[in-house]
Amino acid sequence: MILGEELVSVEPATGNIMWRGVAGDVDVTVDRARQGFRRWAMEPLARRMELLRRFVNVVRKHDGAFAELIARETGKPLWEARTEVAAVMGKVEISITAYAERTGFTRRDVDLGGSMSLRHKPHGVMAVLGPYNFPAHLPNGHIVPALIAGNSIILKPSEKTPAVADFLVRCFHEAGIADDVVQCLHGGPDAGKALVAHEDVNGVLFTGSARAGIAINRKLASNPAKIVALEMGGNNPIVALPTPLIADAAATVIQSAFMTSGQRCTAARRLIVVDRFYDDLVPAVKALADRLIVDEPFANPQPFMGPVIDNAAADQLGDAFLELMSRGGRPLSHLRRPDPNLPLLEPGIIDVTTLEERPDVELFGPLLQVVRVADLDEAIAEANATRYGLSASLIGGSPEDYERFWLEVNAGIINWNKPTNGASSAAPFGGIGLSGNHRPAAFYAADYCAYPVASNTQEQPRAAIAMGLRD
Ligand code: NAD
Ligand code: SIN
């Protein structure tokens, strides 16, 4: 949060200030990153990989403290924060494999003793802009592949989670990666804007809302030299056809909609259920939602979900729920907020079938809209009634139904009998429409962290003009 000249981080579960800092200097940071890039890009690939493997050991050494910090600053339960730390560590080996597979080195001999080769060069200084919901794992998902490729990094974290970003960057330094190769630049959207526009920044790797991503895209539209990867939000559908496994179907819906208090880009926002399965599934989802423990991240027993990030987010979600009700939505579970001074929200479920126009917005929290449809045709049309296209899932149905769903639904992740979220780092991760700009992250991050250079070479010039010469 920005308080005048100061940046402060407020613990969602308590309202206490847990970190204070000031905004960084964009010009100074970019100058340092340029110097860092010159040295880092010259390091052999094997050395860069070795230092990143050391980074994993450093994170492992501090894993308990790291998870506690993530839990405090985001409000997510400690068990879940531990899974984020595990994802940070897992990223390195996945990215080393991806670098070799996606951007490796190839060479073949051609005539006259020459060779054709393909190698990849780093872009230079990369700005990584991160969101608050995974303040370590998601920036790290850009940083690690970009470092392997030889870029230097400026991380501009969310102003809501600066402490985790500092911790992450310190782990790179403790591993032996120089201070000017990975830096943290604190600040709000204005710092992000200045960084994105800086002429000495060669690439922008953004994870956040469609609103900010589009603003970045617009800003850089006349600058094709800068590589821009945009990982944005979603208004993700989970479609339910009949299955005898009702409890499992309900649990899959709950995981999709309410994990991380619904603060995942891949969270299911819309449960689209066919008429003949509605009375089996929807009461089961409601009953399970009513049992979810919502509490502070270190509570015992551990909660399923913690608070949303701050009171402003909780207010907005509350307003959105009321707005859906005022348009004719039928609440199945109210989005209760037991303490109006804290952002702890109980999961909200609302049937919006009768709404004439359903708002196509990302409601980033524990709020699930339910739509009743006649059949799979209508379900697919409803699933596609969005400008976003990040993730989608089908529950129940046959292999043929899933094949049709896969072909006709517009999204970058299309699952069957699995949640819409929990994407694997070992697969490409990205969406279409307002969800991304066709530069998927995770396994395919290697593609935007380096550019291909094709070379045709031989040790001596050997050429003759065979045609078109005067005697
Ligand atoms: P946000 O867009 O508000 O902020 C993200 C980052 O961009 C922050 O560092 C912020 O300071 C910066 N920023 C904001 N406006 C900017 C601008 N005009 N120019 C440059 N930088 C700017 O996002 P958030 O609220 O922190 O995170 C939640 C959002 O992130 C949700 O929409 C969620 O779906 C999305 N998200 C997407 C993915 C994905 O991989 N597709 C993953 C996680 C979260
Ligand atoms: C996210 O990046 O917000 C969630 C990733 C996932 O759980 O699929």
Are the C-beta atoms of residues 135 and 164 closer than 8 Å to each other? yes
- Do 273 and 157 belong to one domain? no
Give the pLDDT of residue 177.
98
Boundaries of domain holding 206:
6-232+436-456
- Do 212 and 344 belong to one domain? no
Q: How far apart are CA 214 and CA 203, in angstroms?
A: 16
- Domain termination site, one of 368, 386, 416: 416
- Do 103 and 52 belong to one domain? yes
* CA 206 / ligand 2 centre spacing (Å): 14
Q: Whose CA is nearest to atom 7 of ligand 1?
A: 129
Domain count, the chain: 2
Residue 469 included in any domain: no
* CA 228 / ligand 2 centre spacing (Å): 20
- Do 173 and 79 belong to one domain? yes
* CA 266 / ligand 2 centre spacing (Å): 5
* CA 399 / ligand 2 centre spacing (Å): 26
Are the C-beta atoms of residues 323 and 277 closer than 8 Å to each other? no
- Do 139 and 15 belong to one domain? yes
Give the pLDDT of residue 112.
81
Residue 11's SS3 state is coil
Residue 136's SS3 state is coil
Closest ligand to 260 CA?
2
Give the pLDDT of residue 400.
98
Q: Whose CA is nearest to atom 7 of ligand 2?
A: 422
- Do 14 and 128 belong to one domain? yes
Q: Which of 73, 80, 231, 296 is catalytic?
A: 231
Closest ligand to 190 CA?
1
Distance of CA 27 to the CA centre of its chain: 27
Give the pLDDT of residue 102.
95
Give the pLDDT of residue 5.
73
Residue 192 included in any domain: yes
Residue 149 included in any domain: yes
Task: Measure the CA dihedral 260/393/273/361, to 10°.
Answer: 60
Residue 332 included in any domain: yes
Give the pLDDT of residue 278.
98
| CB 423 near ligand 2, within 6 Å | yes
Task: Give, for ligand 2, the residue of 84, 134, 263, 265 to mutate: max count of ligand atoms closer than 8 Å to Cβ.
Answer: 265
- DSSP run (H or E) holding 163: helix 162-174
The pairing of strands 348-351 and 330-333 is antiparallel
| CB 263 near ligand 2, within 6 Å | no
Give the pLDDT of residue 471.
84
Residue 428 included in any domain: no
H helix intervals, 75-154? 78-103, 137-149
- Do 81 and 25 belong to one domain? yes
- Do 49 and 36 belong to one domain? yes
Residue 204, domain CATH: 3.40.605.10
Give the pLDDT of residue 104.
83
Residue 345, domain CATH: 3.40.309.10
Q: Whose CA is nearest to atom 9 of ligand 1?
A: 158
Residue 131 included in any domain: yes
Are the C-beta atoms of residues 468 and 451 closer than 8 Å to each other? no
**What stretches in the chain show pLDDT beneath 70?**
none
Give the pLDDT of residue 3.
74
- Do 243 and 163 belong to one domain? no
Give the pLDDT of residue 75.
98
- DSSP run (H or E) holding 315: helix 311-326
- Do 223 and 249 belong to one domain? no
Cβ neighbours around 60 below 10 Å, total: 14
To the query of whether residue 231 is one of the catalytic residues in this protein, the response is yes
Closest ligand to 445 CA?
1
- Do 119 and 169 belong to one domain? yes
To the query of whether residue 449 is one of the catalytic residues in this protein, the response is no
Residue type, 146: A
Residue 471 included in any domain: no
- Beta-bridged to residue 392, according to DSSP, are 414
End-to-end CA distance of the chain: 79
* CA 391 / ligand 2 centre spacing (Å): 10
Q: Which of 171, 184, 265, 449 is catalytic?
A: 265
Number of H helices, E strands in the chain: 14, 20
